[in-house]
Amino acid sequence: MTDYVFAPPAISSVAVEGEQARFPVRRIFCVGRNYAAHVREMGKDPDREPPFFFTKPADAVVDSGAVVPYPPETSNFHYEIELVVAIDREGFDLAPADALNYVFGYGVGIDLTRRDLQFEARDKGRPWDWGKAFDLSAPIAPLRRVSAVSHLSAGRIWLAVNESLKQDADLKELVWSVPEIISILSRSMVLRPGDLIMTGTPAGVGAIVANDKVTGGIDGLGKIEITIGSARAAS
């Protein structure tokens, strides 16, 4: 047994629908610009350029129902509703036709974004981390096993702020499908159990502020709900 100089951090995890046991999170990969209408609203050209990825730390996950404090150093804090894919097998250089065999299940997630910091980084050619990879930036609703929901390639995906509908699209509009995303990602990394993939957001992103209630869902999969809290006080 390895000794540590202090107690190691707890393993981050996501709930699994209807089960006591939770899904342990290893890494969170996110796909950029994967719905054409969202690519356009970000000021880019939605031709089918290869997908690119960014990451969030595993401990950015937070359960549905949480209060997420308004994060520091932003005045343009955005929601992005996304389909989340959960991986439970090790795989490398997978063919698209084989990729779905590595999926544990699916969930509804929100890629919370400090848009002002993301755009500043983007425009200066710097990493996106400060815009995307901050504390509590990955709310994810309970995962549902493939055996419960089968594989999702279509279905309404939506998000509302204080009951006002902001994002409303269909998984059919994904530029790169789930099998393609898994296949392409697995050429760059050995995928491992516990990896999550946030598959990109449709059009309609926008700002949220303290006390906003953010709800969203994917037909046939489930719903997510978070409340934005006040900024965290110094400690």
Pick from 189, 224, 213, 173: nearest CA to 26: 189
CA distance 159 to 79: 9
Q: Taking CB under 5 A as the rule, which mask of x and - marks residues 103-142 in contact with Mn ion?
A: --------x-------------------------------
Question: Which of 103/159 has CB closer to Mn ion?
Answer: 159
Question: Which of 78/145 has CB closer to Mn ion?
Answer: 78
Q: Which stretch binds Mn ion (CB under 5 A): 1-9, 42-50, 194-202, 205-213?
A: 194-202
State which of residues 58, 68, 80, 104 lies at the interface with Mn ion (CB under 5 A).
80
Pick from 54, 55, 89: nearest CA to 192: 89
Q: Which stretch binds Mn ion (CB under 5 A): 150-158, 163-171, 172-180, 199-207?
A: 199-207
Helix spans in 31-132 (H): 36-41, 96-99, 115-124, 129-132
Q: Which stretch binds Mn ion (CB under 5 A): 12-20, 148-156, 201-209, 223-231?
A: 201-209
Q: Which residue is nearest to Mn ion (CB)?
A: 111
Question: Which of 111/195 has CB closer to Mn ion?
Answer: 111
Assess 201 for contact with Mn ion (CB under 5 A): yes
Pick from 193, 199, 233: nearest CA to 218: 199
Q: Per DSSP, what are the bridge partners of residue 226?
A: 214
Question: What is the maximum span of the chain, computed from C-alpha positions, in angstroms?
Answer: 53
Other C-beta atoms closer than 10 Å to the C-beta of 68 total 20
* Residues within the interface to Mn ion (CB under 5 A): 80, 111, 201
